[in-house]
Structure 1
Amino acid sequence: MTTTTPGALTRVLRDRNAGLYLAGVVVSGFGTSALWLVSGVWVKELTGSDGLAALCLLAMWAPTLAGPILGALADRTRRKPLLIGMNLLPAALLPTLFTVDTPDRVWVVFAVLFLYGAAGIVQDAAESALVATAIPASLLGDFNGLRMTASEGMKLVAPLAGAGLYAAYGGPSVALLDAATFVLAAGLYAGLRVRESRPEPPTAGWRTQTAEGARYLWTHPRLRPLVLAGGGTMLCAGLGGSLLYAVIDNLGHAPSYAGVLYAVQGAGSVAVGLLSGPALRRLGERRFAAYGIALTAVAAGLRAVPSDAVALVCSAASGVGLPCVLIATLTAVQRETPDALLGRTAATANTLVFTPNAVGLAAGAALVELVDVRLLLPVLGLVWLGSTVPLLQSAASPSRTAARSPSDANPA
């Protein structure tokens, strides 16, 4: 594996479209990660309310629930202009945050973040669909791994940079930085070389078109287990995340120790992104996802051990294991979905995978008050480990696939 990784990375970075995509992800990801932290701090300082500060994250996340509807836009128009437009839209919205200087203007922050999140959903759908066209299929696994590495890398450095900029010049300066990163990303995406024909006019109603992505995922024998496993993983990840501060209490540290654990986990995610392409080729999407889930599940259970060394190892293991099912699912969706349906299907998959995370956070917040974390974590690990079983079962045969899903050949 180690001998193929440098060659795979070189091939991805030498591909012009892949290089431009990755540069755009790094640039816009830096601005988004900086704003994600600063928006909550900004609202907290203006209002003094922890609840309102927490709503900033909810405002950015809420549009994910409308992912299937928003993702349909990526199948109704050419993806490259849509991708550029969805970067310029938040760039135009962010300067309105310059008007936020009193508590009664906080609503502007929530409105901008909500629209910001909605634009991000459409942007992700357009990007996922366009990547499958603009980048050779043999490089998709390597590219998606590098994309994960770029995103996680920005999460390690951008929040600190954003916090420093906020402390020196205030919230508007971070909004301006984020707007500039979107403009730069739009310029990079404009340089993509891809031929797109205008999509055929829709022959069905909006509701039917929106549902086609979910129908395709459910009837596809290779994609359905991956999406279900991804949703189950994010549900368990939400449960585990809500137990983090109880784990830190069990270690005898102050809450600020969470920063250390998050940094170690982020480093693990950066590492697995570099190795995911060769691993996907050797193992296939299902086994790659299953092994990653198993590693994360074992790490979750072992966090009950009150040891700093164990906690750090478990954080690194979670960072390595958790992205595996996400990378595998996205790569499989891009490879297995017809182009005309890819925007809706990718957005629907994202909704089904990431929405359970919020449910897990809420459930974990309630459970941690009722049950000792030293009991919760081993149980969580065992349940999480059980979600690997469907992935390790053999995939359905082609004849069974045809019998169960005649729409696979012509999903529209």
Structure 2
Amino acid sequence: MTKNWSVARVLRDRDAALYLAASTVSGFGTSALWLASGVWVKDLTGSNGLAALCALALWVPTLLGPPLGTLADLGRRKPLLVALNLGPAALLLTLLAVDSAGRLWLLWAVLFLYGAASVVADAAESALVAAAVAPELLGDFNGLRMTTTEGMKLVAPLAGAGVYAAYGGPAVALLDAATFGCAAALYACVRVREERPRPSTASWRAQTAEGARFLWGHPGLRPLVLAGGAALLLSGLGGPLVYAVVEGLGRSPAFAGTLYAAQGAGSVVVGLLSGPALRRLGERRFAAYGIVLTAVAVAAQAAASSESVALVCGAAIGTGLPCVLIAALTAVQRETPDALLGRVTATAGTLMYAPTAVGLAAGAGLVALVPYRPLLVLLALARLAVLPLLRGPQRAASASRTDARSPSDANPA
């Protein structure tokens, strides 16, 4: 039975396993530094606002996804991935000089460049994976990547906090630099044949716009990406409500960590099941079922009066929310010509993930004005309002990604 299990097929593929290992190792370091950097700033300054700038510095480059993603289409992607891991590893070593509040500008600058490198690396990896992994296994691969990413989020912050408590911020920077070095070595071992892209006479702006036009003009991709952005906007709106839910249960704020752990466990599970589900349902139905599950769980959370119900709801939210993201990424990899794949992937990432920050900011204001229970019900109903975006015929997987087409040929405009 195991030999026919698609997840096992992905793991038996040498290159796919190397990609997953590299992503897992670098993700561990990123998650560890994400928490430790904020604690580091808080210890040096005593300011919560300055500590929050660490997460902002890492996130802001997501807004620059379309132009940054174009970098992934300008040359061969394997050498680019190796360089994008060695570069941050070297940058992180400069954080050994951060020993006072006056040098924190160096930490924020490194985190910003770190975030920008991650945007380009994600686009390049997505494109390279699409060339190396069989199309029918892309959903399994993306699901496994979700599983490993969420798994690292459960353990890496604790590890980073432990290293910081024992040895300080520079030790966490060294740990993260080591993970990037390991990831670079793993990417270097991947066996993939790439042709150098044909030089383009178009400007950087025109090449960036070409990817955006392809994504917006594609009838199969646009609804999935818009649904993903709407889902994460609503997730952001609901994020600040978790502490109100915990207060309603009569628990201390620390119980929020348990709810987040339950949500992470749900995401791990759906990652393992996403490949078979995508093959059976197709991208749109898989995304729609995930949105419905999330809506039901959010509505049930509004009525939760016990810890067990709240934990089940958290796990269900963690299971449903990633479905539309996995479906959208898999569809982008299958439907986009190779010459455009880096910038289209990065543009889709910006459209899906940037609304989270808007939602978090708005949610922080709403939770102070509106009782959390009716607000959760409204957010559940709003999720159901996203479903019409996913109506329409399910497109079959396209082979156009592997066609020898130029960006101009692929541009529907």
Question: Corresponding residue for 1:358?
Answer: 357
CA shift digits 1:171-220 (9 cap, x unpaired)? 11110000000000000000111111111111322111101111111111
Alignment of 1:7-86 (within 5 A): 7-86=5-84
Residue ranges of structure 1 left out of the alignment (5+ in a row): 399-405
Deviation >6 Å, runs of 4+: 3-6
Q: 1:397, CA displacement in angstroms?
A: 11
Residue among 248, 251, 255 paired with 1:250: 248
The answer to whether 1:315 aligns with 2:314 is yes
Q: Distance in 2 between matches of 1:362 and 1:67?
A: 21
| Aligned-partner Cα distance in 2 for 1:11–1:119 | 30
Q: Distance in 1 between matches of 2:370 and 2:5?
A: 49
Matching residue within 271, 275, 278 for 2:276 = 278
Bigger drift between 30-39 and 198-207 goes to 198-207
Match of 2:380 in 1: 381
Q: Work out the CA distance in 1 between the residues paired with 2:249 and 2:408.
A: 53
| 1:264 aligned partner | 262
Distance in 1 (alpha carbons) for counterparts of 2:152 and 2:373: 33
Provide Cα deviations, 1:310-357, integer angstroms capped at 9, x if missing partner: 211110001100111111110000000000000000000000000000
Residues 5 and 275 in structure 1, CA contact (< 8 A), matched pair in contact too? no
Distance change in 2, residues 1:223/1:102 (3 Å): same
What amino acid is the match of 1:273?
G
Give the 5 Å matches for 1:105-124.
Answer: 105-124=103-122
Give the superposition deviation at 1:243.
Answer: 1.1
- For residue 205 of structure 2, give the secondary structure of its aligned residue in structure 1: helix
TM-aligned CA distance change 1:223 to 1:231, over 3 Å: same
* Structure-1 residue corresponding to 2:234: 236
CA offset digits 1:209-242 (Å, max 9, x no partner) = 1011111111111100000000000000101112
Counterpart CA distance in 2 for 1:20 and 1:397 is: 29
**CA distance in structure 2 between the aligned counterparts of 1:391 and 1:407, rounded to whole angstroms:** 28
- Separation in structure 2 between the aligned mates of residue 160 and residue 397 of structure 1, nearest angstrom: 43
The separation in 1 between residues aligned to 2:143 and 2:233, in whole angstroms, is 22
- Whole-angstrom distance in 2 between the partners of 1:69 and 1:299: 37
Cα distance in 2 for partners of 1:173, 1:85 equals 23
- Tell me, in whole angstroms, the C-alpha distance in 2 between the residues paired with 1:42 and 1:410: 47
| Alpha-carbon displacement from aligned partner over 1:381-412 (angstroms, at most 9, x marks no partner) | 001111122213335899xxxxxxx9774569
- After superposition, give the CA deviation of every residue in 1:279-325 in whole Å (9 maximum; x if it has no partner): 00000000001100111111112211232122111100011001111
For 1:54 and 1:397, the matched residues in 2 are separated by 44
Residues 220-235 of structure 1 aligned to structure 2 (within 5 Å): 220-235=218-233
Count of aligned pairs between the two proteins: 403
* Preserved contact between residue 210 and residue 411 of structure 2 (Cα < 8 Å): no
Query: Equivalents in 2 of 1:411, 1:386: separation in Å?
Result: 29
Are the counterparts in 2 of residues 216 and 407 from structure 1 also a CA contact under 8 Å?
no
Partner residue in 2 for 1:341: 340
Q: Which residue of 2 aligns with 1:401?
A: none
In structure 1, C-alpha distance between the alignment counterparts of 2:79 and 2:160, rounded to whole Å: 29
**Ranges in structure 2 where 5+ consecutive residues have no aligned partner:** 398-406
Query: What CA distance in whole angstroms lies between the structure 1 residues aligned with 2:35 and 2:365?
Result: 25
Q: TM-score, normalised by structure 1?
A: 0.95
Which range is displaced more, 206-215 or 144-153?
206-215
Tell me: CA distance 1:378–1:131, structure 2 relative to 1, closer, same or farther (3 Å).
same
**8 Å CA contact retained: 1:5, 1:278:** no
CA distance in 1, matches of 2:126, 2:394: 24
| Secondary structure class of the residue paired with 1:204 | coil
- Structure 1 residues 411 and 177: CA distance shift in structure 2, 3 A: farther
Equivalent AA in structure 2 for residue 25 of structure 1: S
Percent sequence identity over aligned pairs: 70
Name which of structure 1's ranges 297-306 and 31-40 shifts more when overlaid on structure 2. 297-306
Distance (whole Å) between structure 1 residues aligned to residue 129 and residue 101 of structure 2: 42
2:135 is matched with 137
Specify the code of the residue in structure 2 equivalent to 1:176: L
Give the whole-Å Cα distance in 2 for the aligned partners of 1:70 and 1:303.
Answer: 39
Q: Deviations over 1:127-166 (max 9, x none)?
A: 0111111111121111000010011111111111111111
Partner of 2:149: 151
2: CA distance, partners of 1:74 / 1:50:
36
The TM-score normalised by the length of structure 2 is 0.95
Cα separation, partners in 2 of 1:77 and 1:320, compared to 1, 3 Å: same
Question: Quick one: which amino acid aligns to residue 22 of structure 2?
Answer: G
Q: Which amino acid aligns with 1:204?
A: A
